[in-house]
Structure 1
Amino acid sequence: MMTSLFSIFEPSSSIFSLSLNWTSTILGIFFLPTFFWASVSRWNLLWLKITNTLQKEFKTILGSSNLGAPLIFVTLFSFILFNNFLGLLPYVFTSSSHLSMTLTMALPLWVSFILFGWINHTQHMLGHLVPQGTPWLLMPFMVLIETISNIIRPGTLAIRLAANMIAGHLLLTLLGNMGPHLPHKLLPILIVPQILLLLLESAVAIIQSYVFAILSTLYASEVN
């Protein structure tokens, strides 16, 4: 019996105290090796076109000197996208709806950016705390505001992804729980909103993975 609506997001299934729900985070890896041996299909070409477009966009933001960095953010986008879409499948645990997952991705990135910036570009980081043209009376407040905004960045990245993923799943669960209590004649009225909501969640899965990757790229560009 479900004790809470949020209990569907709890990693409860396990064998020998080893949680099995979190294994869904690596299911996307099994879709990648087919690119190396399977014949080229339209889906492969579409995915290559998407990743190449993202790589060019990230390279524009980071600059031409950072050749390997765009690949990191394309990989991050792909990893989040696979997990978001896998969470839409029935009986698949949505790992990207947990802060323990999203914060694990956001916090190391933010810490590496901050350490790299303060060690290699100290003057640039200090100057970034005070925007150009700020009156001297407002400088202490601007330093405080910019410091707080930098500190909360990993939290906002993690909460944004987790909250958007969990919100749609809760709506789908609420609508799905209404099915057994409705007459058969009203089931089509329930199915149509669920299909539309599922399409919306598919769009959210793409958008949120892109937002996470592009914001991480913008944060990385600020320390150069």
Structure 2
Amino acid sequence: MHIAEGFLPPAHAVAWTIAAAPFVIYGARQVVVTVRQHPSAGPLLAAVGAFSFVMSAIKLPSVTGSSSHPTGTGLGTAIFRPPVMAFLGTIVLLFQALLLAHGGITTLGANAFSMAIAGPWAGFAVFFALRRAGVGLLPAVFALAFVADLVTYVVTSLQLALAFPAAEGGFAESLVEFLGVFAITQVPLAIVEGLVTVVVVRVLIQVASSELLKLGFLRRKDVPAGADDEIVEERA
């Protein structure tokens, strides 16, 4: 979920904005660096941003009475790394707040921290560890998207529990309650998001392998025969 406009106490909204700001500012600088070093990466940046916008705008009713949605941050995190996704994800959340009333301006910092920062970094840590261990690209991408989705909801639950501790049991009791609201729906949703992300990556490998090689997302051995033949032959 996106935390709705005005839902957080002002002090919490400000604190999460301050916490998210350094990541977003650094991410903006990394976007500039990426475009300067790889001018042809612009369309791919736009594509991963659009993917996150569409995926995270899908609202699915939860069996607990709330609603859940994918985050779509795994794709951009895998290709461009978490700092870039922190900036792109924040832009996605800003446009959703302005155009779809999904989330809010006062809660933008909190939503950015959970969906554009915490989720991508946790997912990328798993992705990096799996790749270092010799796990294939697509399984690692699936794990990244799955973990990024789940961690987003864990952090959102933590944010809500901090803002609204239970009268009995305090923060811990409130955290368990908020986690329980999303757990039943979010686990299968995270699996679906992982599978969708893998499908998109497979398509990109076929049509944009040269750019993915330049960005360091692909290794030469990951490029299948016949994918982007002209550039692959130049790099062989």
Interval of TM-score (by shorter of Structure 1 and Structure 2): 0.3 to 0.5
Query: Could you say which structure has the greater relative contact order, defined with CA pairs below 8 angstroms and 6 or more residues apart?
Result: 1
The normalised TM-score by structure 1 is: 0.32
Report the structure number with the largest CA radius of gyration: 1
